[in-house]
Structure 1
């Protein structure tokens, strides 16, 4: 045996052992990750194989060579078993890691190990052994026990590699890098070992498997450094895919045990505004603090309010733990269910309850108080004044009840926006208001046509905004209605020179909800907001200089009039022309 080959071989084997030992340390630092313990077992086997083989190659005593060669088969037999278990954990096939499966799969390796250690008695594993050979390798003649071990080991390796290959096919970009390296790293040593067994290598006495394992160790280091191997593994992703999260209408986020995002479906990417590639591997706190609070507390549900597709939407969050069949916790699944419609109904009930509990009750108290004063006084002029005030409050009470009725009528029906010309709607509303409010000046600056997507509730929207401006102005009032058409939609502006809409009412409408301490004084602006939002538009309020407010309605433009139908306004809808004319007559 040539000394340079011995030195080179021993050096490579020791380097392989060093790399394997380092990978064992890395694996133990990530022991909470599924499969890390089995990966550590694989690297321990590589370490022992390399060390014992180095001792075998460097030995000059034939008896010691045989002893080291026999002992080397302890890690050689254990390595395929540990590799198979690791690949099953990595790819999420954890049913093969149950105690029954592990005991059953260990049967052949155990028999092989017993045959190796007792071969001098029965010669089943090796039928003959030559004390020494080239490069410290005994001249063994392999027996049936050896081929049983070889076939079984290569079967485990093949099944494990196919499992990783299936993960490669199904995995996202980040995991494909991991699995591709694992596949290459798997084939290197076992191809080298197969060539050695078939005696197809120039130096047939030298087993190149540990040398190939050195290259495998380097590939593992690359996977750890660049692809976060042992840090992000797709087992949680695989488990969640079993419930087809990609096809869920709800949003779904899969987390590992460190609350990092393993995967999320397309609905979740829309909700949070992150692409799947950008979100994968990031801490959950970078995406949503609400989700972090849900995971870190004992609660299993929560709510999220966020701005999606130019609209405020509400989601109910549910957290479910992800565990393997053996009960090992591997992460969480967070689902996000859209409850915007439910929240809208709750907001409607809040306003209606406030209307009944607060506004109507207070107005009734005022009416009763004035009636009591009327009953006590004897002055006719005073009585008439009290009566006028009582009548005014009663009328206000009836109007609010009517608006509450309109709330149910307009919002309970199913709205199907279609193309409408807003100009005739505005002109009809202006005509009604001229009759009802003769002291109010209303001017318009409109194009010939303004095609928007809405329905016949637009009559009510415009009339309510004009009424709101008039009712809150003492004396004469000037209202200007203008419209501009842009690329993104139609903007309708209704400006008045009255006292303006109080800031707290603007805040309530912007926030979209009321509280017992902060609420609006009426229901009209709520109706306007709900209708415009249902048309796919938005509403905001600006200050008018030097006095008053500007209500700005942003509506969708009708770009395809030939494919939509025109709805005639004023037919059987609260707030339509026929209703308002009847109200004016009454």
Structure 2
């Protein structure tokens, strides 16, 4: 038993020492697709190479046989690790389940047991002897059936893995030419080296250069992984999308470079795959600035927390090539089977026809809304102006009756009432017309207008109306837009109380706080069941004397409140009256919020 230095062992030592830091570096990046099995592959190469070196330095048969057996630990790992690298490279991570990995390791584990117990059965090798005839001593032996069975198994895994990786790289664009060259070296060198050794044509007679060749293979693949980021995006993208889709599809890598485009995307953007690949994706989207901006926003979102769920949809029209066409751009993260973000997909759909149908639907909805508004206006004219005219008719007949009896003083009282009611009705009609036109006089003020409305309500309908307006409201803290909408909400609430609730007493109050103003219109009418309201569609079933259009008025009030950033709440129950509460922000709060939004927009 002894050791003897020979320079023929140095290549194995160099091979192992070169592979070791690479294996460590890849292990530190094991979160990258394919890095974990590749690091295991490189560690196995370190073990195999250093085992070969120690075998070369031994001079006795027992020592050489021992280290030759040690080498098999790395030898049996390499084919399985190589296949795992190829599987992850091809984007088929789901194949590497615990069960499948365990099955792949059954044969290597069995071979190791047979190798270390070979003296009992000779299934791996027999007739082992020491040959010292050359410049260095080597073991010669006859291989047993288990060895050849393993050779078939190992070469099958190596062939399948290499084929998978080459097929995945075949036909890829010029952007990945460097990766393709590196991997071609990694695939070809070990096969050529092993073939030369088995055939007896090794460059160095009797020296097995296979582990050195596999080290070269691992280094080449590692360069592709670390420098070119070989496994970041190809070919996972086209395992996700089909080239024949009607939607345009652009595949983008983690550096926002275009990896590939399908024919539909090329047709829409005017960029062929040959021109687009390797270019920033925003260049392809330049005709649609809104889509390009959305793409940048999605890049930020995809790099942050929750990237796997992030998705941005942008609808745009026009563009240098699209003319009057409309497109929907959808930006989604591109994931491996295990949820790892390796790029993005840009999907482009022509939605011109869908948008046309949608616009027609919007036009029809607007026409329907106009019809409903006309119907509501007709009801208002009937219920307000019609009732006023009816009241004037009764008063006029009473005045005529008193005049016929010669009671002029009583007749004057009726005529004075007629004049007052007619003037109020005239003013109400004018205000309604101005409101519908969206035009208000320069001297229009909220508080006086509301007070006139309350007085007119009492005179015309005999309903006691209590109104308390704080000084802050008189000072215009709400703002003109909010004042107009709040006035119409109060008017609608009072009208509903009279028309549907039969109220005899109405209270209108204001509460001013830092966050906004709350307006409450409370009546003592019959009330109604809240659940009778049909949600936000403005319809209510007729029950307990509540007309079917009462809910429509509530819907209008809710819309008015939302127009000024407020919200409306209705509280009511049969026999308990009704409260309409509307909360709107102060003019200062609204201006601050708008200023904050503008600041945030400018900071983006």
What TM-score, normalized to structure 1? 0.53
The answer to which of 264-273 and 179-188 deviates more is 264-273
Note closer, same or farther for the CA distance 1:299–1:182 as it changes in structure 2 (3 Å cut).
closer
Task: Identify the match of residue 251 of structure 1 among 243, 248, 251.
Answer: 248
Aligned equivalent of 2:117:
118
The residue that corresponds to 1:40 in the other structure is: 39
Q: 1:147 to 1:287 in 2, by over 3 A?
A: farther
How far apart are the structure 1 equivalents of 2:238 and 2:214? 28
Which residue pairs with 1:317 in the alignment?
A: 330
* Structure 2 contact 298–331 (Cα < 8 Å) conserved: no
Q: Deviations over 1:104-142 (max 9, x none)?
A: 222222221111111122211111211454434212222
Deviation at 1:72, TM superposition (A): 0.9
Q: For residue 148 of structure 2, what is the aligned residue in structure 1?
A: 147
Q: Which residue of 1 aligns with 2:207?
A: 206
Deviations 1:270-299 (A, max 9, x none): 666766465559689998124436745686
Q: Distance in 2 between matches of 1:247 and 1:310?
A: 24
Distance in structure 2 (CA, Å) of the matches to 1:138 and 1:68: 11
CA distance in 2, matches of 1:226, 1:273: 32
1:244-292 deviation line (CA, Å, top 9, x unaligned): 1x21111334466888765443444566676646555968999812443
Matching of residue 289 in structure 1 with residue 288 in structure 2? no
Task: Check the 8 A contact 1:130/1:139 in 2, yes or no.
Answer: yes
Is this contact kept in 2: 1:168–1:180, CA < 8 A? no
Change (3 A) 1:139 1:286: farther
Aligned with 1:47: secondary structure? helix
Contact 2:16 2:47 in 1 (8 A): yes
Q: Which residue of 2 aligns with 1:129?
A: 128
Partner of residue 337, structure 1: 349
The structure-2 alpha-carbon separation of the partners of 1:201 and 1:16, relative to structure 1 and needing over 3 Å to count, comes to closer
Report the equivalent of 2:90. 91
Aligned-pair CA distance for 1:177: 4.4
| SS of equivalent residue, structure 2 residue 326 | strand
CA contact (8 A) 1:38 1:85 kept: yes
Given that 2:308 and 2:333 are in contact with CA atoms closer than 8 Å, whether structure 1 keeps it comes out as: no
The match for 1:54 is 53
Q: Is the 8 A contact 1:261 1:281 kept in 2?
A: yes
Correspondence for 1:304 among 306, 314, 321: 314
Aligned partners of 2:279, 2:139: CA distance in 1, in Å?
50
Counterparts of 1:283 and 1:212 in 2: how far apart (Å)? 40
Structure 1's 281 and 5: CA in aligned 2 closer, same or farther, altered over 3 A?
Answer: farther
Aligned-partner Cα distance in 2 for 1:345–1:71: 74
Report SS of the residue matched to 2:50: helix
Cα pair 1:46 1:210 within 8 Å, conserved: yes
8 Å contact from structure 2 (residues 250, 345) kept in 1: yes
Task: Provide Cα deviations, 1:418-474, integer angstroms capped at 9, x if missing partner.
Answer: xxxxxxxxxxxxxxxxxxxxxxxxxxxxxxxxxxxxxxxxxxxxxxxxxxxxxxxxx
Superposition deviation, residue 181 in structure 1: 3.1
Give the distance between the partners of 2:265 and 2:332, measured in 1 at CA: 14
Shift of residue 328 of structure 1? 5.1
CA distance in 2, matches of 1:278, 1:21: 39
Q: Do 1:240 and 1:333's aligned partners in 2 also have CA atoms closer than 8 Å? A: no
Unmatched segments (≥5 aa) in structure 1: 377-385, 398-514, 518-586
Greater CA drift, 70-79 or 123-132:
123-132
Match of 1:103 in 2: 102
Q: Deviations over 1:397-425 (max 9, x none)?
A: 9xxxxxxxxxxxxxxxxxxxxxxxxxxxx
Task: State the partner residue of 1:6.
Answer: 6
Residue 516 of structure 1 deviates from its aligned partner by: 7.8
Q: What does residue 76 of structure 1 align with?
A: 75
TM-score, normalising length: structure 2: 0.51
Q: How does 1:480-519 map to 2 (within 5 A)?
A: none
How far has the Cα of 1:179 moved from its partner? 3.9
Size of the aligned set, in residue pairs, is 379
Q: Which residue of 2 aligns with 1:171?
A: 172
Matched residues in 1 for 2:279 and 2:352: separation?
29
**Contact kept? 1:32, 1:257, Cα under 8 Å:** no
Quote the Cα distance in structure 2 between the aligned partners of 1:177 and 1:17: 25
SS at match of 1:206: coil
Contact 2:26 2:36 survives alignment (8 Å): yes
Task: Measure the CA separation in 1 of the matches of 2:315 and 2:6.
Answer: 69
Q: Which shows bigger deviation, 43-52 or 124-133?
A: 124-133
Q: How does 1:382-397 map to 2 (within 5 A)?
A: none
* Residues 298 and 311 in structure 2, CA contact (< 8 A), matched pair in contact too: no
**Structure 2 unaligned runs (5+)?**
283-291, 393-425, 438-561, 565-604
1:459-509 alpha-carbon deviations (Å, 9 max, x no partner): xxxxxxxxxxxxxxxxxxxxxxxxxxxxxxxxxxxxxxxxxxxxxxxxxxx
- SS state at 1:191 partner: helix
- Deviations along 1:132-174, one digit per CA (max 9) or x if unpaired, are 5443421222221221121211111112122223223353333
Q: Helix, strand or coil: the match of 1:139?
A: strand
Report the structure number with the largest CA radius of gyration. Answer: 2
- Which range moved further: 12-21 or 249-258? 249-258
C-alpha separation in 2, matches of 1:329 and 1:170: 25
Q: Contact conserved, 2:257 with 2:277, CA < 8 A, in 1?
A: no
Question: Helix, strand or coil for the counterpart of 2:47?
Answer: helix
Structure 1 residues 302 and 225, CA gap change in structure 2 (3 angstroms): closer
In the alignment, is the contact (CA less than 8 A) between 1:294 and 1:302 conserved in 2?
no
* Aligned residue number for residue 182 of structure 2: 181
